[in-house]
């Protein structure tokens, strides 16, 4: 019975460690390296930083690097969960272990060995599965007292039966008490559930740094979101084009993009990008002039083009009354609205904004349904911050916060009795991630943010914030169930064995089954729902 229980235990442990084995399987064994002008195949472990490698279609990328030449699409789903292949061109970053799909390219190794993203992920999962939660330490302390107490009870039962004149029954009771009280179930209650929970998180693209993170995440009351790059796309895009004169929307965008082609401003880049996406041919601009704090001007197709704010148009004596209603509406929505003029007359408006990620509203709504307060924390202006918050249904907004003050805001919330998680992606979020009860870093964010976060979301999907909290709650629920049944089992079994009602053979079977029940109950955690509509 004991051997059968141990055998089943090992099977379930192996299944629980499947996430780590899957990650290890991603590591390619060899790499094609160019050394002294000759392409050669070498063990992937021997690649050095700065070396140039060649990757053909269908091959795994051997290490992290940057594309030098060539174009391809790379399947990064094994690490990011993103089903669509990612296009790679010169300058693009590539991740070791991902699969090259279409083209041949050369890239330079930037991180090798234990420094690669894959190696760090594997280490993080292994460390988390091996870590000890506070609840486990409590169980260990209980076990330290439990063992001598059980031995004492066993001897008392033995001497009691012997004194009553039944030595054989005393010996059987002594053995039965020792067997039934074997604290295997107590010892397995926490690590078994943690191993399964961390493994399930890794499979879902949620990397948990340690058992204590899961334990703290269960108690969260407040989640604070950074705005830019976390809830929004992180780069401005054209959201509205309003025609107010004879020119069409397409003509307004084409001329505005032509003028902005000479600018390096992020808003200008967004306008040029929008024109390119619509495959508009951009004419050459002449007489380009940037007017600080106002806008830009130039001649396009022999027409005088103007793009900027109200001050620029007032300076040129151009009436913008017709645009005022639309401008106020767009600005109230948190967008940057720019006036477009042609040949001294108002032509239209181009609005640019950092748009919300498609899944942001669903994530916020799901957190609120879980009873968690959501706060928006941003360095952006009040108007834009409140416009974004209104779209998401967030009522608590803290705007115009300097990067150094974010950590102080988190501490203020904690002093108010709240258990706070900070979700961010940038270097400026790192101090806040560090002081929060739980720091949750977006996978596409900076390395500093990811190093500081207790939880890393590989897939850049803010819905995984909800999934990580649900996972922690489900894991802690399993741990408590395991400990409850382990204590109940011993509380009932020991007196029964001491009173002589339990044969040692049956006690051995019961002990094995108790351990097995804890393992099986932990394995059921794999069926926990982390997202709506998924198992």
pLDDT tens per residue across span 42-51: 988 888 999 9
Q: Where are the alpha helices (DSSP H) in 304-343?
A: 310-315, 324-332
Q: What is the mean pLDDT of residues 201-209?
A: 80
Bigger pLDDT: 77 or 113? 113
- pLDDT for residue 414 is more than 60: yes
pLDDT confidence bin for 83, thresholds 50/70/90 = very low
Q: Give the per-residue pLDDT at 479.
A: 82
pLDDT confidence bin for 367, thresholds 50/70/90 = very high
Q: Give the per-residue pLDDT at 131.
A: 47
pLDDT confidence bin for 445, thresholds 50/70/90 = very low
Q: Which residues contact 151 (CB under 8 A, 6 or more apart)?
A: 178
Choose the most confident range, by mean pLDDT, from 49-58, 266-275, 294-303, 417-426: 49-58
- pLDDT for residue 185 is more than 70: no
Local structure of 37: helix, strand or coil? coil
pLDDT confidence bin for 133, thresholds 50/70/90 = very low
Bridge partners of residue 238, in order along the sequence:
352
Q: What is the mean pLDDT of residues 504-532?
A: 76
* Cβ(238)–Cβ(276) below 8 Å: no
Mean pLDDT, rounded, of the chain? 80
* Cβ(445)–Cβ(426) below 8 Å: yes
Q: Give the per-residue pLDDT at 535.
A: 39
Local structure of 52: helix, strand or coil? strand
Lowest mean pLDDT among 121-130, 286-295, 337-346, 430-439: 121-130
Bigger pLDDT: 329 or 85? 329
- pLDDT for residue 412 is more than 50: yes
* Cβ(490)–Cβ(473) below 8 Å: no
Q: What is the mean pLDDT of residues 90-94?
A: 88
Residue 304 to residue 529: CA distance in whole angstroms: 59
Q: What is the mean pLDDT of residues 449-470?
A: 78
Residue 489 to residue 183: CA distance in whole angstroms: 10
| Annotated catalytic residue within 226, 437, 461, 464 | 226
Q: Give the per-residue pLDDT at 18.
A: 52
Residue 393: DSSP 8-state: T
pLDDT confidence bin for 81, thresholds 50/70/90 = very low
Q: List Cα–Cα distances, 260 to 151, 306, 308, 340, 415, in angstroms.
A: 83, 10, 11, 12, 48
* Cβ(250)–Cβ(242) below 8 Å: no
pLDDT confidence bin for 487, thresholds 50/70/90 = confident
- pLDDT for residue 17 is more than 80: no
Lowest mean pLDDT among 4-8, 50-54, 141-145: 4-8
Lowest mean pLDDT among 5-14, 59-68, 250-259: 5-14
Lowest mean pLDDT among 129-138, 195-204, 486-495: 129-138
pLDDT confidence bin for 55, thresholds 50/70/90 = very high
Bridge partners of residue 75, in order along the sequence:
99
- pLDDT for residue 135 is more than 70: no
* Cβ(398)–Cβ(376) below 8 Å: yes
Regarding pTM above 0.85, the answer is no
- pLDDT for residue 270 is more than 70: yes
Lowest mean pLDDT among 105-119, 142-156, 229-243: 142-156
Residue 403 to residue 341: CA distance in whole angstroms: 37
Please say if 226 is a catalytic residue.
yes
- pLDDT for residue 107 is more than 90: yes
Q: Which residues contact 123 (CB under 8 A, 6 or more apart)?
A: 114
């Amino acid at each position: 019975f004991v051997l059968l229980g141990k055998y089943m235990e090992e099977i379930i442990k192996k299944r629980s460690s499947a996430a780590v084995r899957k990650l290890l399987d991603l590591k390619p064994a060899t790499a094609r390296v160019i050394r002294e002008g000759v392409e050669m195949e070498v063990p992937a472990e021997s690649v050095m930083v700065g070396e140039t490698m060649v990757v053909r279609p269908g091959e795994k990328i051997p290490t992290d690097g940057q594309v030098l030449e060539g174009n391809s699409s790379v399947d990064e789903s094994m690490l990011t969960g993103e089903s669509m292949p990612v296009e790679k061109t010169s300058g693009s970053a590539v991740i070791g272990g991902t699969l090259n799909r279409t083209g041949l390219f050369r890239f330079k190794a930037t991180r090798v060995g234990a420094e690669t993203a894959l190696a760090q992920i594997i280490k993080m999962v292994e460390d988390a599965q091996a870590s000890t939660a506070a609840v486990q330490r409590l169980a260990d302390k209980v076990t330290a007292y439990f063992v001598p107490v059980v031995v004492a009870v066993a001897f008392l039962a033995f001497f009691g039966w012997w004194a009553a004149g039944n030595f054989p029954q005393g010996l059987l009771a002594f053995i039965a008490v020792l067997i039934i009280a074997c604290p295997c179930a107590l010892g397995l209650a926490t690590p078994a559930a943690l191993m399964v929970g961390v493994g399930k998180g890794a499979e879902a693209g949620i990397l948990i740094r340690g058992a204590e993170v899961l334990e703290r995440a269960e108690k969260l009351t407040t989640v604070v979101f950074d705005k830019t790059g976390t809830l929004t796309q992180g780069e401005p895009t054209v959201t509205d084009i309003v025609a107010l004169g004879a020119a069409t929307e397409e003509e307004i965008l084409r001329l505005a993009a032509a003028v902005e082609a000479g600018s390096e401003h992020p808003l200008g880049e967004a306008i040029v990008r929008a024109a390119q996406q619509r495959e508009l041919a951009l004419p050459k601009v002449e007489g380009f002039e940037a007017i600080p704090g106002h806008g830009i001007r130039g001649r396009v197709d022999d027409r005088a083009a103007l793009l900027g704010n109200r001050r620029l148009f007032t300076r040129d004596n151009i009436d913008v009354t017709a645009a005022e209603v639309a401008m106020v509406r767009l600005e109230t929505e948190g967008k940057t609205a720019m006036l477009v003029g042609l040949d001294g007359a108002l032509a239209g408006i181009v609005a640019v904004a950092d748009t919300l990620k498609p899944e942001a509203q669903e994530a916020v709504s799901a957190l609120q349904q879980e009873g968690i307060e959501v706060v928006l924390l941003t360095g952006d202006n009040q108007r834009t911050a409140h416009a974004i918050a209104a779209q998401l249904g967030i009522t608590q907004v803290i705007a115009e916060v300097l990067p150094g003050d974010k950590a102080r805001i988190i501490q203020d919330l904690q002093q108010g009795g709240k258990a706070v998680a900070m979700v961010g992606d940038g270097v400026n979020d790192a101090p806040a991630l560090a002081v929060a009860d739980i720091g949750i870093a977006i996978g596409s964010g900076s390395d500093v943010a990811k190093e500081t976060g207790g939880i890393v979301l590989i897939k850049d999907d803010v819905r995984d914030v909800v999934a990580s909290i649900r996972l922690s709650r489900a894991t802690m629920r399993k741990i408590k169930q395991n400990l409850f049944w382990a204590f109940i089992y011993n509380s009932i079994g020991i007196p029964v064995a001491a009173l002589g009602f339990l044969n040692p053979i049956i006690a051995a079977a019961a002990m094995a089954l108790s351990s097995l029940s804890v393992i099986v109950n932990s394995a059921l955690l794999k069926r926990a729902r982390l997202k709506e509509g998924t198992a």
